[in-house]
Amino acid sequence: MADTATYQATAWFDRVEASPSEWEILWSEQPHKNGCPAYCRTQPAQKAWVKPRRLDVLVPAREKIGADLAHLLRLPVASVLLCQATMPDGSTQPVALSKYSLSTNHLSWFRLQQHGVEPRVIAEVIDYFVRDMIITAGIWVFDTWLQNRDRTERNIMVGYTEGRLEHVYFYDFDYSMRWTGLSDNWTRVSIHQTVSHVFNRVRWEHCLPYLEKIEALPDARIAEIVDRIPHDYLPNEGKDLYKTALLHRRQYLRTVFYELFIRLDQRMPSAGHVWYPDWQAFKRGIIPTMPQHPTEADRAQTPATE
């Protein structure tokens, strides 16, 4: 399943623009929600989500940073446009528009299963989770890097036409990067939730490619993505914190996934995950040819993540 549609929209969404008159924004009646749906008037098959400053002034900036970093890693994540939108009371405020590509239908994975009206598409999505575990494991690794606490079946989207799956894509980073300078909350690196289809199937060899990609990202490229957010969306002190936190947390991704697999092994020794014979081999990215379970000595070598 090609992911080129993700990147066709990137150029347009890489700019900060004035109020998007071509968007018909349908504001949510749920005031506790950060996001609500919007539809493009000129191209009705394009679906987007509006993320205003409803509960948190930094939501639009976090959405943009998350999407742009994901594109660097070639993950199927909806592109984001920062713009000014007219609110129901006539005022304007900065928002993030998250948008993917053309499809006749877009439903979240949760609603698609709930409705049950497209059994062929449901079967194809499950096949996607199994076939493309490197991608879905990559989303899990990426969410952990950004401390995204909200990856659920409601923000994994499915685009389909006439009962045929076109693409599976991800969006929603408003609960990520909620770091402050008043505490050390950004230094505590731990695994964050993902959907059961990923958690129940993921192996180390699925996580490794995206751990390596994130580790290989140039510091300057990460800084560029953060620094180009306009000051109205993210002040300089926030940019400095985000850059510091992203670089710090990147150092510990291998460690936290190593510790996760140890815990899984203790709970489900027959799950068939691939383990590392020792910590030094783990750091070098060596995958053993046969499943090997960590010994007490291995566990004693595991570095602390705090």
Sorted by where each begins, the domain ranges of the chain are: 4-99, 105-250, 252-306
pLDDT for the residue numbered 304: 45
Which CATH fold would you assign to the domain 105-250? 1.10.1070
Q: Quick one: CA dihedral 39, 47, 81, 33, positive or negative?
A: positive
Residues of the chain with confidence (pLDDT) below 70: 1-48, 52-55, 86-89, 100-104, 181-188, 192-193, 264-306
Structure tokens that stand for 265 in this block:
């092994």
The residue written with tokens 């952990």 in the block is 144
pLDDT digits (tens, 9 = 90+) for 11-25: 333 333 333 444 444
Structure tokens that stand for 175 in this block:
């609960």
pLDDT for the residue numbered 138: 92
Q: What are 186-190's contacts with CB under 8 Å, separation 24+?
A: 186/147, 186/241, 186/244, 186/245, 186/248, 186/249, 187/245, 187/248, 187/249, 187/306, 188/305, 188/306, 189/144, 189/147, 189/249, 189/252, 189/253, 189/255, 189/256, 189/305, 190/144, 190/256, 190/305
Axis-axis angle for helices 133-145, 236-250 (nearest 10): 130
**Where does residue 182 fall: left (phi above 0), alpha (psi -120 to 50 degrees), or beta otherwise?**
alpha
Contact between 173 and 225 under an 8 Å Cβ cutoff? The reply is no
